[in-house]
């Protein structure tokens, strides 16, 4: 295995550990294009490729985890934020008000905040 493939595999394993409390199923799979993370949650099923956004999501989860354990942040809100980041707006059917609430949750992470604001503009 090359160094790049090892790096991708390590990133996806780290992401699957971070996302496990929020989703029903997380598994790393190998396709012809490279490694992917398959995630199932209720009616939604999607794949995630190793990217800078995935690394930002892992950092966000690591920072907010103490607040979730302490009871200041609901686990369902974090799950909604992750669905808003990974799924297209038509699949989540979140309103602009919901995106605004989720943007408040990730306001310390500039890249994810900018991404959620961009998604809010596309929301119905």
The alpha carbon of residue 48 and the mean position of all alpha carbons in its chain are separated, in whole angstroms, by 9
* Cβ pair 36, 49 in contact under 8 A: yes
What pLDDT score does 22 carry? 86
pTM of the model: 0.84
Count of domains forming the chain: 1
Burial letters for 4-38: b for 16+ Cβ neighbours within 10 Å, e otherwise?
eeeebbebbeebbebbeebbeebebeeeeeebbbb
- Give the structural domain span for 116: 3-122
- Give whichever of 30-34, 70-74, 93-97, 120-124 has the largest mean pLDDT: 70-74
Range in 19-33, 39-53, 72-86, 88-102 the model is least confident about? 19-33
Q: Does the pLDDT of residue 33 top 70, yes or no?
A: no
């Amino acid at each position: 295995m090359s160094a790049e493939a090892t790096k991708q595999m390590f990133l996806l394993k780290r992401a699957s550990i971070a996302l496990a409390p929020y989703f029903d199923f997380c598994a790393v799979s190998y396709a012809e294009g490279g490694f992917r993370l398959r995630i199932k949650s209720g009616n939604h099923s999607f794949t995630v490729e190793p990217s800078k956004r995935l690394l930002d999501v892992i950092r966000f989860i690591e920072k907010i985890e103490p607040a979730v354990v302490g009871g200041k942040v609901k686990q369902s809100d974090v799950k909604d934020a992750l669905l808003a980041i990974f799924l297209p707006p038509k699949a989540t059917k979140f309103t602009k008000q919901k995106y605004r609430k989720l943007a408040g949750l990730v306001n310390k992470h500039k890249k994810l905040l900018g991404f959620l604001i961009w998604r809010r503009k596309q929301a119905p």
